[in-house]
A and B are shown apart, each in its own frame.
Chain A
Amino acid sequence: MSYRHSRTARAVLRSLVPVICPPEAVPLGDAIVDHLELTLAVSPAVLQRGFAVGLVTYDLGALPRYRQRARALRGDDAERYYASWEHGATPLHVQLARGINQLMSLSCYEQPEMMARVGYRPGPWITEVTQRRLTVYRDDVTRQQAQILAPDPLRPGVRVKPERA
């Protein structure tokens, strides 16, 4: 888990939060980018490298048209520039835009506030059903746990070495 966004990558990603995420998630921008970093840290090394290079390219690619880097674009300019990659001229443009969208959407809806917004509250549900299972089916559960360890040799009567102490 060694991946760290470069300063450029972080700035680009931060500027893309209003483009990718719903408006209500924009105040969570730093947390979303932090989460994205955690996700990338466990992804394949080649993906990490590709993503880092892609973000630098994305940042610099805005210069000819907007005379500023992508990280500095706001509002409609940021939207139009991202869309130009989303429907881009090459598969690499499209792939990078899609990758940013996927990772940022994931990180966005991993925020507790966003999960709560869509009604997803798994913690209390897990607690409730766990207790119910262990109450209603207590005997069966205990029986299954005992079965897991009970002797049941695959070849009855065959033991290749003496029993260990």
Chain B
Amino acid sequence: MVAAALLEGPRPPNVFTRADIHGDTVLDADVVVVGSGAGGATIAAELAEAGFEVIVLEEGSYYQTRDFTADTSAMVRQLYRDGGATMAIGNPPILYQEGRAVGGSTVINGGMSWRTPDKVLARWERELGLEGIARDLEPYFARVERRIHVAPMDDEAIGNDNRLLKRGADAMGWKVIGNLRNQAHCAGSNRCAFGCPTGAKQSALVSYIPRALHYGARLYADVRVDHITRHGKRATGVIGTVNGSGHRITVRARLVVSACGAIHTPALLVRSGFRSPSGQLGHNLSMHPNTKVVAIFDEDVTGWKGAHQAYQVREFQDQGLLFAAVNMPPSILAMSFPHRGAALGQLMQHYDRMVLAGMLCEDTATGRVRTINGRPQAFYQLADADAANLKRGVVLLSEMLFAAGARRILLPFHGLAELHSADEARRLLSRDIPASSCEVVTVHMMGTARMGTDRSAAVTDPFGLVHDTDRLLISDASLFPTPIGVNPMETIMALATRAAGHVIDNAARYLS
């Protein structure tokens, strides 16, 4: 009973779900926030504590830690938009995942919590007119890290897959660091991507959302926002639909915050008739393309016992590559293999001796989100340079895993046989491998409403207020002017906190 009490109590009274909404409803607030992930939950909590009346609308449902079970596919169905099967059109197509639940993608991410790299902030200052942003963000990063408990892993929670990754990096003499994650004594259940069942990951669901509710915010789950209402150039609220019942929810507000991510924010604005004089709304989509290899060892790994991504290989960060070990349940892994029948069964018998290692590539290409019949569709063509970097990353990762003792490595390229040695891995560099044969996925979408001082080049000002509109603020990764090369959650939260400070400082304007 003590354990249960520590995890969480009953559903808070100011959380409303489809079962609580019995007809068309009109609500009033100072601020309506669309989306409850890293950007939405953070700004909602900060503004609620400052005394603003805040309403948060979330398309996904409200779950609590006790709802997160070991049933992987049920969790995917409940927590992921489109069951995790959303695709950016290109060659190769890129599968991307977004959270669709209270807490947004913070509920399903790995919890990596890194500040925006200095070189990225320097570029934003130098090239995009965001003068002083590095200095400005410093206290906000510190505040976010305190709130979501950013910390290195406890040694006992680190599993064998991560230890093997580190062993390989050490053998190669490469820089490898302990990951900083938003966790309070991560227990090592390795279920981050399916809702943390222990409550250790300090996602928005268990940090900023409870805080926002504590300070009076109201949260409506299961509500899809159809459009932002407007009076001329001024945003005046939103109209949404309750999933399932079809009841309409109208929120009249003095400030509208769009925090639905880099795919859905531009679509919401376009649906609502907002245009950016910059012509950049929906453009500039970055995706941090990811790919993976699977290494099979002689020794027992049992990678599902231990923390997710406990280490990160930083040796090639300057070249836009990060490596980490990312265990996945057998179903997700089996899905990624081209094998079938008896061959699939034989391969999966090695499941407990597999290390799944992935890489993040800081991309140089940009794509676009188009709004087609009101729905967003991402288009993204992997650049040749990025495809080459992914191939190089596969080679480096394979060499490292062989150095750790791997016997076989399965590649992410269709039609290529597995590797049995580091020499074979190095020979891949001279092979012509079409980009279209590479399996690419991502969870980091950024940049479709980029911020900047120049209204002819940026969609919003440096705080996220949309240029040439009134009282419409963006608070998500849409704002990033460039990819940042590390996991984006902390940057989103810091920008949201900074934006909240700007709104509080100008409260008279936003409450009038």
Interface residues of A (CB under 8 A from B): 1, 18-25, 35, 38-39, 41-44, 47, 79, 98, 101-103, 105-110, 114-115, 117-120, 122-123, 125-126, 129-134, 136-138, 140-142, 144-145, 147-149, 151-155, 158-164
Q: Does B505 contact A (CB under 8 A)?
A: yes
CB-contact partner of A161 in B6, B51, B184, B501, under 8 A: B51
Pick the residue among B210, B344, B507 that contacts A160 (CB under 8 A).
B507
The 5 lowest CB-CB distance pairs between A and B, nearest first, are A22-B345, A42-B83, A129-B187, A118-B351, A109-B331
B residues 467-495 with Cβ under 8 Å of A? none
A38: which of B53, B69, B73, B331 is its contact (CB, 8 Å)? Answer: B73
A129 touches B50 (CB 8 A): no
Binding site for A on B (CB under 8 A): 2-3, 6-7, 46, 49-53, 69-70, 72-73, 76-77, 80, 82-83, 85-87, 143, 146-147, 149, 157, 184-185, 187-189, 191, 197-200, 202, 206-207, 210-211, 214, 216, 302, 304-305, 329-338, 340-342, 344-346, 348-349, 351-352, 497, 500-501, 504-505, 507, 511
Closest residue of chain A to B78, judged by CB? A42
Residues of A within 8 A of B214 (CB): 148-149
Cβ-defined contact, B49 with A126, below 8 A: no
A119 to B109, CA, bound (A): 25
Q: Could you give 17 example pairs across A and B, Cβ below 8 Å?
A: A19-B341, A21-B341, A21-B344, A47-B82, A105-B344, A114-B330, A117-B349, A118-B352, A120-B329, A120-B330, A129-B198, A133-B185, A148-B147, A154-B500, A154-B501, A160-B507, A164-B216
Q: Of B76, B77, B187, B336, which contacts A130 at CB under 8 A?
A: B187
* A102 CA / B114 CA spacing, docked (Å): 33
Other-chain contact of B77, A22, A39, A134 (Cβ < 8 Å): A39
Enumerate chain A residues within 8 angstroms of B340, measured Cβ to Cβ.
Answer: 19-21, 101, 105
Q: Are B211 and A122 in contact (CB under 8 A)?
A: no
Sample of 9 more A-B contacts, CB < 8 Å, known A22-B345, A148-B210, A161-B52: A24-B345, A102-B336, A110-B72, A120-B330, A130-B3, A134-B6, A137-B185, A141-B184, A144-B202
Distance in angstroms from A15 CB to nearest chain B CB is 14
Q: A126-B70, A144-B184 are in contact. Are A105 and B51 (CB under 8 A)?
A: no
B305, A125: Cβ atoms closer than 8 Å: yes
Dominant SS at the A interface? helix
Question: Which residues of chain A are within 8 angstroms of B85 by Cβ–Cβ distance?
Answer: 43-44, 47
Quick one: given A44-B86, A118-B348, A149-B214, are A140 and B185 in contact (CB under 8 Å)? Answer: yes
CB pair B52–A140 under 8 Å, yes or no, is no
Give the chain A neighbours of B6 by CB distance below 8 A.
Answer: 134, 138, 141-142, 145
For B341, the chain A residues whose CB sits under 8 A away are 18-23, 79
Shortest A3–chain B CB gap in Å is: 10
